[in-house]
Amino acid sequence: MPWVFSAALFGAHLISSICRVFLKPYDRSQLLAIILAIFAVSLTILAFQSTRFEAEKIFIWTPLMLGSDVAALIHLIKEQFPDPDPPKRSKKSGYREVENQFELQRQDGRDQHQHVQDQDQHDDRQKRKTDKTDFVCMIISVLLLIMFILLQGAGFFFSVTQFFRRHQLQLQTSWCSPAFQLGNGTFDAECTLFPITQFETLGVACVSVPGNQGTWLGWTAIGVLALLILEFVEMTILFTPWFRRLRVGHGYRAPIATTLAGIVVWVAFIVVGFYQMKVLPPGLSESRLGITGEMEGGMCAFDAFPAELRGSIIAWSDGIFGGWSLYQ
């Protein structure tokens, strides 16, 4: 995914998380989290359908970025089944005895007021369970959570199987340019020839060079497995009665580890996406390339430049929508 799209979605996830944790309008953050989850499910299914889990297209169908959506859905579901507030220590414990009786009475009044506020907040969370809108949102969240786990499982399975076959597949990646339309082959300073494949309907021509999809397949398998383990561990902690004392005692009300892991993945994708649009692929890394073909003189030279943002958006669009007949 182009880094600018990743940055925008990452920002939306951060806003949703901040609203759920710190701000009062819970319903708005609930709606935002569900919209982001539906978008992620749709995009992932589209990527799976377009690429057919081909190893060479792992850049398109990797499900690594789904962790943040899973964490948000777990948090939404947990908000419908809140645990009681942990018992608070008296603010007067450990303090020196106050000689002024009036100060003692004022302190007791503040403690009682704070207790009433805490009880009201707990009652508010309990009332959410009876709200029809929250009930519908909870059902949607559960269904989306199941879909995310299935999508992650499918991505893990195919990334593992394709990783162990990476040497047999001889993975290559396509790099396209309008300049390649001038001939039938391009070569670098070492006279390494790369055949050119023409795509007249798309208005470009492409060459295939050795790619690093094997590395991406390995990191996808490791990353998705780690996310699945975190997700199931935190769901066990948050929803089973055996860990209720842990939740109440430490105020554990959200999937913190899964959320942090999702943030790390988003930041990594933004950094990697920004770097990749600045470099040429191996074999084409020289700025001056030659083209052979039927043009006058039999060959010509041209300057090659990295894809930059526009090229990365076009490449991602070709991959994500390549399965659509209307896009051909």
Structure-model confidence comparison of residues 295 and 36, the more confident one = 36
User: Residue 59 is which amino acid?
Assistant: F
Burial readout 308-327 (b: 16 or more C-beta within 10 A, e: otherwise): eeebbbebbebbbebeeeee
Together in a domain, 163 and 72 = yes
Determine the average pLDDT of the residues in 157-186. Answer: 87
Domain end point (choices 260, 276, 292): 276
Together in a domain, 103 and 159 = yes
Q: How confident is the model at residue 21 (pLDDT cuts 50, 70, 90)?
A: confident
**Would you state the pLDDT for residue 63?**
94
Helix (H) or strand (E) holding 143: helix 132-164
Together in a domain, 82 and 194 = no
The Cβ of residue 130 has, within 10 Å, a number of other Cβ atoms equal to: 8
Residue 300 sits at φ, ψ, to 5 deg, of: -150, 170
Together in a domain, 103 and 90 = yes
Together in a domain, 111 and 251 = yes
> Into how many domains does the chain fold?
2
Determine the average pLDDT of the residues in 196-203. Answer: 78
How far is C-alpha 8 from the geometric centre of its chain's CA atoms? 11
Determine the average pLDDT of the residues in 313-324. Answer: 80
User: Residue 207 is which amino acid?
Assistant: V
Range of the structural domain that residue 291 is part of = 172-210+280-328
Residue 322 sits at φ, ψ, to 5 deg, of: -65, -25
Q: Are the CB atoms for 229 and 263 separated by under 8 Å?
A: no
d(CA 124, CA 133): 15
- Cβ contacts of 254 within 8 Å, gap of 6 or more: 20, 21, 71, 74, 75, 78, 238
Together in a domain, 157 and 188 = no
User: Residue 294 is which amino acid?
Assistant: E
Tell me the Cα Rg of the chain: 27
Range of lowest pLDDT (161-165, 231-235, 293-297): 293-297
Range of lowest pLDDT (272-276, 283-287, 292-296): 283-287
Range of lowest pLDDT (77-81, 252-256, 277-281, 324-328): 324-328
Together in a domain, 39 and 99 = yes
Together in a domain, 230 and 286 = no
Q: Are the CB atoms for 228 and 153 separated by under 8 Å?
A: yes
- Report pLDDT digits (tens) over 55-78: 989 989 999 999 999 999 999 888
**Would you state the pLDDT for residue 149?**
96
Max mean pLDDT among 104-108, 154-158, 285-289, 314-318 falls in: 154-158
Structure-model confidence comparison of residues 270 and 106, the more confident one = 270
**Would you state the pLDDT for residue 295?**
66
Together in a domain, 33 and 95 = yes
**Would you state the pLDDT for residue 259?**
92
- Report pLDDT digits (tens) over 95-150: 344 344 434 444 555 555 455 455 555 555 545 444 677 788 889 999 999 999 99
Q: Are the CB atoms for 248 and 84 separated by under 8 Å?
A: yes
Together in a domain, 141 and 7 = yes
d(CA 142, CA 75): 11
**Would you state the pLDDT for residue 261?**
94
Together in a domain, 204 and 217 = no
**Would you state the pLDDT for residue 323?**
66
Average pLDDT over all residues of the chain? 80
**Would you state the pLDDT for residue 10?**
93
To 10 degrees, what angle do helices 256-276 and 213-239 make?
160
**Would you state the pLDDT for residue 101?**
44
Q: Which two tokens stand for residue 125?
A: 């969370």
Q: Is 15 helix (H, G, I), strand (E, B) or coil?
A: helix
Together in a domain, 92 and 79 = yes
Percent of the chain with pLDDT over 90: 34
d(CA 211, CA 283): 10
